Amino acid sequence: MPGTIVTFYSYKGGTGRTMAVANTAWILAMNGKRVLALDWDLESPGLHKFFRPFLDTDTVSSTDGVIEMIKNYALAMLGAGRSEHGTLLAEHAKVERHAVSLDFEFPKGGTLDFVSAGRQNRDYSSLISMDWDRFYAKLGGGQFFDALRADMRDKYDYVLLDSRTGLSDVADICTIHLPDVVVDCFTLSQQSIEGAASVAQQIEERHDRRGIRILPVPMRIELGESAKVEAGRAEVRAAFAGLPRDMTQEEAHQYLLDVEIPYRPFYAFEETLASFGEPAGSPSSILAAFERLTSFITEGEVTTSPAFDDKFRLTMLERFTRKSSRAPAEILLTYVSEDRAWVDWIYLVLERAGCHVDTHCVDASPVGELQKKIDSASRTVTVLSSNFTESPRAKPTWQLLMDAHNSGQHSRMTTVRVAEARLTHPYNLITALDLGAVDEHHALSLLLAALEQTLPPSSELPQPVESSPRFPGGGQSSRPVVWNVGPRNATFTGRGGALEQLRDQLLRRGQSVVVPQALYGLGGVGKTQVALEYAHRFGSDYDLVWWISAEFKDQVNLSLAELAGKLGLSVGESVAEAAASAREALRRGHPYSRWLLVFDNADAPAELKDELPENGHVLITSRNQAWSQLAAPLEIDVFTLEESVAHLRRKVRNITHQEALDVGTALGFLPLAVEQAAAWLDSTGIPAQDYLDLLEGPET
């Protein structure tokens, strides 16, 4: 059976087209297919960079490519007679002599060969300036490409062409003359959509006889900009109405969602194959997106790529990673847990700038660790806010940082103000960068300039994708699009360590997290309050946060059914079906890929484990420690002595430190009991000692 020729085309550059060619070729070869990838972008060749760990550069540079193949045939034809035409076609329209095989053992006998655009030498630019009209009219160019097409289809199961952009004779060869399938790539910009749709229409009109299959593919989709994405999707549906052929309107709309290729900043730095860039199995990964595209190209024959062992994957990933030419800066970020959202964004920026970043949370990390971290850092960045200056641990932390800064032997210190707060002595001794009052681009520039750092030239401003943190300032709304969480506890106190662990587990591990009560086995330690604070503190990182009272399974389904309505899903009257639709929408990441679900007071894991959606952040509060078998456990304990005293002094007027300590000790620092005592003391005005006497009961 003859093979299939697939052209990847884009009207505009910057779509990620070449990346799609490389990843599709890799997935096909991993499924045992004989694959050929040709770099037909003659003016800006770059396909080879995605295969560089598996290509011998000397072999590639010494092997003729696409342009030499065409030029050699044209030169032979100049002095040939008509009778020699067939012989020359048979001799020159053979692609294998120009192909270099990748040095990788693919499963099931799969192979991946590569043909470059041409030898990159001083003669290359003159070779590509070709008179294509003359080539077709005088030298049998049409017959040459017919013969080449036949040869490629005979030798390979799939041939993938990376076509140049725009409208040109070279693009026509790739989009009209050679392919069976055209993958029409575009971003959601108006110009890109219109250009891609126009080319699709031309292909339809000019080559109807062979029935080239056209697959429009939206690429570099930034899901964090949900409103703009939805507007772009509507534009795409209108522009590509009727495509792909043989699909109903509903099927075509679903197809366009399935083949969307998301933007991932990780891949902006090096040409890296997705099979090595991220583990397999996540439906929202860029690898899964390329797998879905491959499935449509092959009409369902190839749907997934075999997963690599993680150790092997990471070893191979290292071969793609560009090594820095300078030693990375060692930077220590110091902060209080209330400002963690800012720290996440700063960490992301500095990490992308090539810095080694360590962190120290004042109210969660042992004080004894700080001096060692300072000694290891070349710079320190302290995040200042009223939360920091009011923390009991702030002054000793600040003193250590200032000592290192003033000594001239250790870390230089930079301060960053992230909220409207009047900085008094000693926190005003160093002029702070005011990042909370500017937009993201300005904040990025200020931060990097102050730290004498730059982003790599090929990189872009960090954008919110997957679990990457969003910029928390610049007047951005902190409320997700979909939200049903109750009001924030204005007197929430402490729990810095617990919230730090919770954030780490959700942000960096990307898995479901359970918050069980392991110490007391009863209510009152504040599991729900920690979950509520997390939802408010980090709500701006999500597009959807949904709170579910999960004591009974029926309550869970009712809440998920209500969520289905909020998502605009078309469901019937069945609560179970509506709940299932909501879970599927969350799993697929449509319409929102950044979401948090809180299952509060969940009891039996066996009843609810099938109700937990995949592919997002799930937080569970429960007294049942059996949940730790299904999710990462995080123990919520009673207040620390410091937290108990702080909470009482915050709520009870005129209570002394010692009195607050005595009350907290008498109550075992149980948060619910401390809260109730604080409310009673404040409302009645009874002296703390009298309250303690009442707790002890009448003398016997």
Give tens-digit pLDDT for 103-130: 999 999 999 999 998 875 444 444 456 6
The tokens for 105 are: 């053992």
The answer to whether the beta carbons of residues 245 and 299 sit under 8 Å apart is no
Confidence at residue 240, expressed as pLDDT on a 0 to 100 scale: 96
Rounded Cα–Cα distance for residues 559 and 582 (Å): 10
Peptide bond into 591 cis (omega under 30): yes
SS3 433: strand
Of the candidates 626, 628, 695, 636, the one whose C-alpha atom is nearest the C-alpha of residue 666 is 695
What integer best gives the mean pLDDT of the chain?
83
pLDDT at 157 over 60: yes
pLDDT at 513 over 80: no
The answer to whether the beta carbons of residues 433 and 409 sit under 8 Å apart is no
Rounded Cα–Cα distance for residues 288 and 286 (Å): 5
Residues 6+ apart with CB under 8 A from 246: none
DSSP 692: H
pTM of the prediction?
0.52
- For β-strands 100-101 and 111-115, DSSP reports them as antiparallel
DSSP 639: P
Strands (E), 437-525: 482-483, 513-516
SS3 383: strand
User: Edge-to-edge strand order for the sheet containing 595-600?
Assistant: 482-483, 544-549, 595-600, 617-622, 513-516, 632-633
Confidence at residue 463, expressed as pLDDT on a 0 to 100 scale: 44
From residue 600, give the alpha-carbon distance in Å to each of 397, 624, 680.
36, 12, 27
Per mean pLDDT, which range of 150-159, 197-206, 271-280, 512-521 is the poorest? 512-521
Portion of the chain with pLDDT greater than 70, in percent = 88
The answer to whether the beta carbons of residues 400 and 366 sit under 8 Å apart is no
Side-chain half-sphere exposure of 671, counting CA atoms within 13 A: 22
pLDDT at 334 over 50: yes
Rounded Cα–Cα distance for residues 618 and 609 (Å): 12
Of the candidates 596, 512, 607, the one whose C-alpha atom is nearest the C-alpha of residue 556 is 607
Distance between alpha carbon 385 and the CA centroid of its chain, in Å?
Answer: 29
Of the candidates 163, 155, 156, the one whose C-alpha atom is nearest the C-alpha of residue 182 is 163
Confidence at residue 160, expressed as pLDDT on a 0 to 100 scale: 98
Angle (deg, nearest 10), helices 671-684 and 688-696? 130
Side-chain half-sphere exposure of 594, counting CA atoms within 13 A: 23
Confidence at residue 325, expressed as pLDDT on a 0 to 100 scale: 54
The tokens for 150 are: 């036949």
Per mean pLDDT, which range of 114-118, 223-227, 313-317 is the poorest? 223-227
pLDDT tens digits for range 358-384:
999 988 887 778 888 988 888 899 999
Q: Is 324 exposed, middle or buried (0-12, 13-18, 19+ CB in 10 A)?
A: exposed
Confidence at residue 603, expressed as pLDDT on a 0 to 100 scale: 78
- Band of residue 189 on the pLDDT scale cut at 50, 70, 90: very high
Rounded Cα–Cα distance for residues 106 and 26 (Å): 9
Mean pLDDT, residues 477-482 taken together: 76
The answer to whether the beta carbons of residues 165 and 10 sit under 8 Å apart is yes
The answer to whether the beta carbons of residues 583 and 567 sit under 8 Å apart is no
Distance between alpha carbon 570 and the CA centroid of its chain, in Å?
Answer: 28
pLDDT at 335 over 60: yes
pLDDT at 102 over 50: yes
Burial 277-298 (b: 16+ CB within 10 A, else e): bbebeeebbbbbbbbbbbbbbb
515 strand-pairing partners:
621
Per mean pLDDT, which range of 430-444, 478-492, 630-644 is the poorest? 630-644
Confidence at residue 521, expressed as pLDDT on a 0 to 100 scale: 36
Type and span of the H or E element at 205: helix 190-206
Of the candidates 379, 398, 403, 374, the one whose C-alpha atom is nearest the C-alpha of residue 388 is 398
The answer to whether the beta carbons of residues 29 and 181 sit under 8 Å apart is no
Helix residue ranges per DSSP H, 653-687: 657-666, 671-684
Rounded Cα–Cα distance for residues 27 and 275 (Å): 8
The tokens for 79 are: 């002095």
Confidence at residue 408, expressed as pLDDT on a 0 to 100 scale: 66
Select the more confidently predicted residue: 9 or 525: 9
Confidence at residue 326, expressed as pLDDT on a 0 to 100 scale: 55
Confidence at residue 471, expressed as pLDDT on a 0 to 100 scale: 87
Confidence at residue 554, expressed as pLDDT on a 0 to 100 scale: 84
Confidence at residue 170, expressed as pLDDT on a 0 to 100 scale: 57
- Band of residue 684 on the pLDDT scale cut at 50, 70, 90: confident
The answer to whether the beta carbons of residues 640 and 363 sit under 8 Å apart is no
From residue 98, give the alpha-carbon distance in Å to each of 64, 66, 101.
6, 8, 10
The tokens for 538 are: 């980090």
Mean pLDDT, residues 134-159 taken together: 91
How many helices and strands (H and E) does the chain possess? 28, 19
Of the candidates 30, 511, 16, the one whose C-alpha atom is nearest the C-alpha of residue 260 is 16
pLDDT at 207 over 70: no
Type and span of the H or E element at 197: helix 190-206
Q: What is the 3-state secondary structure (H, E, C) of 280-302?
A: CCCCCCHHHHHHHHHHHHCCCCC
The answer to whether the beta carbons of residues 253 and 233 sit under 8 Å apart is no
Of the candidates 594, 590, 30, the one whose C-alpha atom is nearest the C-alpha of residue 259 is 590
Mean pLDDT, residues 412-428 taken together: 86
- Band of residue 698 on the pLDDT scale cut at 50, 70, 90: low
- Band of residue 590 on the pLDDT scale cut at 50, 70, 90: confident
Select the more confidently predicted residue: 272 or 440: 272
